[in-house]
Structure 1
Amino acid sequence: MGDPHPKLHATQLTRTFGRPPHQVDALGPLELTVAPGEFVCLVGPSGCGKSTLLRIAAGLLRPTTGTLEIRTSLPPDTRLRRAARPAAMIFQDYGIYNWKSVRANVRFGLDIQRVPRRTANARADEWLTRMGLADFAHAYPATLSGGMRQRVAIARALAVEPELLLMDEPFAALDAQLRTILQDELLDLTQTLHTTTLFITHSLEEALVLGDRVLVMSARPGRIIAERRPPFPRPRTGDIRDTPEFTALKGELWELLRKEAVPA
């Protein structure tokens, strides 16, 4: 039985690009339900529509057919509900503004919501401290490392207290060591906050460390063909990477993915 009140619910969702005879069926039909507080990881071959799904959830793309609904807990008539999007998105290329200071970047979503400046600064500073960026509040992104820029992007997304966090391969551009550090930081953060998260990755290790559920998508047009629940209780740490169960599940997922990647 599914959650009676899912945070995200997609039904018969499809997305096509272009027109016949050059039409590309990018996604679906796809069914997806994400429970409140759940961390769901999506893995699949390149070009299978993972990013398209995330952009539909973020309101950046419309579905061709079907629906994707995000249930918000805000009262329907609040000014905040009108000003705020229920979802915040983090991209692989950071998506932060080079001409704004680190603090102004983190405050950006709060400024859009018209949060009073003093409150917004306080919340931005709180997130800068939490992400280890307090000393860089007045720096500009060009002076930061890739890992620090991604921390700024995470702080900006979480500062607006989103009901749904969407992450599109956020650590793909980082070296392996830094990627592991940021995975562990995100694991700690999301377990503390219980933010509902939809996370796209090419890394099976990343999906198994972070996810309550790992969903495997088919080659384009992307559909969900398998679901696995990593058997690691929470709160968990990155130490699970060293367990036989982790290695076995990673191998099983790789076999599923390999079959999908071959035709592509």
Structure 2
Amino acid sequence: MADPHPDPKLQARTLTRTFGRGQKTLAALGPLDLDIPPGEFTCIVGPSGCGKSTLLRIAAGLLRPTQGELRIRTSSPRPAAMIFQDYGIYDWKTVLANVRFGLDIQRTPRAEANARAMDWLTRLGLADFADAYPAALSGGMRQRVAIARALAVEPEILLMDEPFAALDAQLRTILQDELLALTQTTRTTTLFITHSLEEAIVLGDRVLVMSARPGRIIAERRPPFPRPRTGDIRTTAEFTALKSELWDLLRSEVRTEAVPA
């Protein structure tokens, strides 16, 4: 059967991951098939422990699949950047040095690296904090630093693992809207893991629903909101209806995960 997208940026085929051995083997993920075309913002939702983060870590090269394969088709030697829930920035580096970190690894000339890092700090409203250290920043500001660091290297694929989960509801909404504006400008191919249905609908071109462990894709929905879009879609009847539909799909999976084996 032909692929739905002839040249996907990310493609998984019969991808599985288990942990442990023998009687203690835990099936965490799959088998799973996935295609993400260039420029698409794909959100994945699912119950806790279903393998969402495992999938992202395989995509980032931090884990190897047990079976199957995940391929990233890019022209860059460092095609992907990852943003974690716990920020992943370095306390002993200034904000500017944190954002410049990936560029330093790529041996980008210092003047160019500083200029690119400052450009992203300016876009994210952090230019005045370039010389500050992370300890002086709020949680939302730290996550902005993590986003700036990831985007400064101009990745072909952006991998985001529940980046706003640790933030309060108001700040989470603000950062969702900021990320929405940024990614609509850059059109970076993005794989975004979240527990929040609202977040997935606001941000995603496509929302994929995963089953309880071992995680598989059980449904796909495309939010009916053209781009460019804003956070104002949260107040529409279509938004409410899609959120309810996604929750109906998830409810039985959440219950399954809650039942002890």
Task: Give the TM-score band, short-chain normalised.
Answer: over 0.9
Residue 259 (structure 1) aligned with residue 252 (structure 2): yes
Return 5+ residue gaps in structure 1 as ranges: 75-80
1:114 aligned partner: 107
What secondary structure sits across from 1:216 in the alignment?
A: strand
Q: Residues 96-111 of structure 1 correspond to what in structure 2 (within 5 A)? A: 96-111=89-104
Residue 39 (structure 1) aligned with residue 32 (structure 2): no
Matching residue within 100, 119, 127 for 1:126: 119
Alpha-carbon shift at residue 263 of structure 1 (Å): 1.4
Aligned AA for 2:144? R
| 2: CA distance, partners of 1:233 / 1:69 | 29
TM-score (norm 1): 0.96
| 1: CA distance, partners of 2:75 / 2:58 | 20
1:70 aligned partner: 72
Aligned AA for 1:256? L
Matching residue within 154, 158, 161 for 1:161: 154
Give a deviation string over 1:63-87, Cα, whole Å, max 9, x none: 111010001134xxxxxx2xxx211
Give a deviation string over 1:177-213, Cα, whole Å, max 9, x none: 1000000000000000000000000000000000000
Residue 196 (structure 1) aligned with residue 189 (structure 2): yes
Aligned AA for 1:104? A
1:181 aligned partner: 174
Q: Residues 83-102 of structure 1 correspond to what in structure 2 (within 5 A)? A: 85-102=78-95
| 2: CA distance, partners of 1:43 / 1:175 | 19
Residue 226 (structure 1) aligned with residue 228 (structure 2): no
| 1: CA distance, partners of 2:73 / 2:248 | 35
What secondary structure sits across from 2:23 in the alignment?
A: coil
1:61 aligned partner: 63
Matching residue within 30, 52, 72 for 1:28: 30
2:15 aligned partner: 13
| 2: CA distance, partners of 1:137 / 1:2 | 44
Aligned AA for 1:4? P
| 2: CA distance, partners of 1:12 / 1:3 | 17
1:242 aligned partner: 235
| 2: CA distance, partners of 1:137 / 1:117 | 15
| 2: CA distance, partners of 1:51 / 1:142 | 27
| 2: CA distance, partners of 1:113 / 1:73 | 15
Aligned AA for 2:103? L
Q: Runs of 4+ in structure 1 displaced over 2 angstroms?
A: none
| 2: CA distance, partners of 1:164 / 1:104 | 22
Alpha-carbon shift at residue 103 of structure 1 (Å): 0.3
| 1: CA distance, partners of 2:73 / 2:82 | 17
Percentage of pairs with the same residue: 81
Alpha-carbon shift at residue 20 of structure 1 (Å): 1.1
Return 5+ residue gaps in structure 2 as ranges: none
Aligned AA for 2:42? V
Aligned AA for 1:88? A
Alpha-carbon shift at residue 135 of structure 1 (Å): 0.3
- How many pairs does the alignment contain? 255
| 2: CA distance, partners of 1:206 / 1:193 | 19
Aligned AA for 1:192? T
